[in-house]
Amino acid sequence: MARYETIDGLLLLNKPAGLTSNQALQRVKRLLNAKKAGHTGSLDPAATGMLPLCFGEATKVCAFLLDADKTYRVTARLGIATDTGDADGAEIATADVPKLAADEWREILESFLGESLQVPPMYSALKKDGKRLYELARKGETVEREPRPIRIDEISMLEIAGTRLVFWVHCSKGTYIRTLVEDIAKKAGTVAHTARLHRESVGDFRADDMLDLTGLEEVAASGSECLMARLLPPDTALEGLAAVELDNEASDRFAVGQLNSVSGPATTGLVRVYGGANEFLGVGELSDDGQLAPKRVFRTGEKNP
């Protein structure tokens, strides 16, 4: 039976264009010789940028990262619509591009600020009656999709030149940038598709901490220790949560899923939980009456068979 390295951490991959998120994950997983791995917040194959990869016990934070806000640099091609909403799709419509001033484009972009409802694209991984929407779309089928709530916190125009519109956006989970581009174009009186999409950040993670595949392969060539030194601790993904520290006895109870009474931060809801020597124990839920219930218990450092 194959033996795997004991790996518990996160890696921020600068995903290249041309790979699915899972293909990128599998390449890094092989480099690390990791047994358990997952990714959060899939990027389209044509898209580039930050893809958090989770290994070992860090896979337990995947669900929390899915809820994180994201930022993107977007390049839209005005005047041409495609069936997929991006440059990989087939052209399905064309339209003249109105001659608008830069301030007019800024006004259109800023009109999308705040909360709204967005209809997901057919080319997406969402399911309808057990089938992925993109599977139905490839058969030429179109089904009704329920609008979903999204939020645009910031949006700013970077460039407008002819049929090229470049903007930056900070948005909530579940926001489809391809649909946003189409909606922006519709408001301007034309059509468009996403020509390039680069995700700059996920949650509080910094772009400076990203590594591309070539860089990872170079680090791996220096030895597995060098590669694992680039991993981030699992609790890095949870810095937005308040922290609670437990004594040894309470830590033992938390580790086996038992409730604890704590006098911690003036907060309720999900919290990061630490034991002695600042050991990360997992994620707990703190109630109004100071009861801490384990939600995700972490057991880092355990050997993989």
Fold agreement (9-67+204-235, 241-297): no
pLDDT on residue 4 = 60
pLDDT on residue 134 = 73
pLDDT on residue 1 = 40
pLDDT on residue 169 = 98
Contact 170, 138 (CB under 8 A): no
CATH of domain 9-67+204-235: 3.30.2350.10
The residues, any chain, with a CB within 8 Å of residue 42's CB and separated by 6 or more, are 20, 21, 125
> DSSP string covering 67-131, please?
TS-EEEEEEEEETEEESSSBTTSPEEEE-PPP---HHHHHHHHHTT-EEEEEPPPSSSS-EETTE
Q: At 303, is the secondary structure helix, strand, or coil?
A: coil
CATH number among 3.40.309.10, 3.20.20.70, 3.40.50.1220, 3.30.2350.10, domain 70-202:
3.30.2350.10
pLDDT on residue 5 = 66
Dig out the tokens for 102 from the structure.
């830069």
| Known catalytic residue at 44 | yes
Could you give the angle at the alpha carbon of 59 between the alpha carbons of 56 and 61, nearest 5°?
135
- Which one of 8, 44, 83, 183 is the catalytic residue? 44
- Per DSSP, helices labelled H in the chain are 21-32, 62-66, 102-110, 133-138, 177-188, 213-221, 224-228, 248-255
Contact 304, 4 (CB under 8 A): yes
Domain residue spans in the chain? 9-67+204-235, 70-202, 241-297
- Classify the C-alpha dihedral 90-92-96-102 as positive or negative: negative
pLDDT on residue 14 = 96
Dig out the tokens for 236 from the structure.
């890095």
CATH superfamily, region 241-297: PUA domain (2.30.130.10)
pLDDT on residue 304 = 43
The residues, any chain, with a CB within 8 Å of residue 144's CB and separated by 6 or more, are none
Give the separation between CA 227 and CA 218, rounded to whole angstroms: 9
Q: What is the mean pLDDT of each run of 10 residues along the chain (305 residues)?
A: 70 94 92 88 90 91 85 98 92 96 97 95 76 76 86 98 97 94 97 97 88 89 82 89 90 90 78 90 90 87 46
